[in-house]
Amino acid sequence: MKLYAAALDFDPVAHEFNVPRDFPTQLHEEAASAQDLYSDQREDLREIPFVTIDPVGSRDLDQAVYIEKTTAGFRVHYAIADVAAFIAPGSALEQASIERGQTIYLPDFPARLHPEELSEGAGSLLQGEDRPAVVWSIDLDELGEVSGFHVRRALVNSRARLDYDQAQQDLDNGLLHSSIEHLPTVGRLRQESALRREAINLSIPSQRVVRVADEAAGEHY
C-alpha cells in the first residue's frame, strides 16, 4: 500500500527536538584520522565470505553474515562493524556519540551517530575492503537450537553487497548468493524453535519514506 503526502521541510522538526543535522569540522577531521584502537588484537577472518544485506541505497553497511553447513547442523557467522574501536575515550567524537545516542532517520536526511568518514567509510563493511568488526560464530544443531557460540574482535572482508529486494528476488528464483544459501533453512528452523518456546511473533509491515518528484502532483513523499 502506498500513501502520499505533500513534501515538508523537516528542519523545524529537527530543531524542535534538538536533532543535529551536521557535524562540526573538528569532528569530521577527527573521524578522518581516527585509528583502530584494537588493531593488534584482531583475529584475521578475511577468509570467511561475508556478505552485507541492507535496504536499497544504504551507505552505512554495519552488518554482514555467512552461514555454513556443519556435521552437527549449521554455523552462523555474524559480523557487526566495530565503529566503537575508532572512538578514543575522552575524545570529542566520544562526547558527540554520547550526546547523539543513535542515528535518527528523518524522511529527508539521516542525523547520524557518527560522521560519514566512519559510518560510511572506515566503519562500513564495504565490499572488497578490510574492515574491523566484532564477529559472533553461533553453532546450531539440526533442530536450529543454539549449541555454542564464540565472540571476538576480527578483521573481515565482505564479498558482496546485497539489498533486501535483490536477496528476496534471488530467493524466489532459487539463486541465492552462496554465502547465504542456507539462510532459508536456518530461518525455518529458528521459526520452528520459536514455536516450541511459544514465542510471540509480531508481523510488522516494513515502511519506507521516499521523496519523489511528480510532474502532475509535484514533489511529495
Reply yes or no on whether the pLDDT at 217 is more than 60. no
Average pLDDT over residues 140-145: 98
* pLDDT value of residue 113: 94
Q: Where does the pLDDT of residue 13 fall: very low under 50, low under 70, confident under 90, or very high at 90 and above?
A: confident
Residue 62's closest CA among 161, 200, 166? 161
Q: Give the separation between CA 147 and CA 134, rounded to whole angstroms.
A: 20
Q: Check: CB of residue 125 under 8 Å from CB of residue 51.
A: no
Average pLDDT over residues 41-49: 99
No. of H helices and E strands in the chain?
6, 11
**Mean pLDDT lowest for which of 10-19, 23-32, 138-147, 166-175?**
10-19
Tell me the average pLDDT of the chain.
92
* pLDDT value of residue 44: 99
Reply yes or no on whether the pLDDT at 16 is more than 60. yes
For the chain, domain boundaries: 11-220
Number of CB atoms found within 10 A of residue 123's CB: 28
Reply yes or no on whether the pLDDT at 3 is more than 80. no
* pLDDT value of residue 219: 59
The residue among 103 and 129 whose pLDDT is bigger is 129
Helix axes 92-100, 25-33, angle to 10 degrees: 110
Reply yes or no on whether the pLDDT at 9 is more than 90. no
Average pLDDT over residues 87-115: 92
Rg from Cα positions in the chain: 20
pTM: 0.87
What nine digits make up the cell of 140?
546450531
Q: Give the separation between CA 174 and CA 170, rounded to whole angstroms.
A: 6
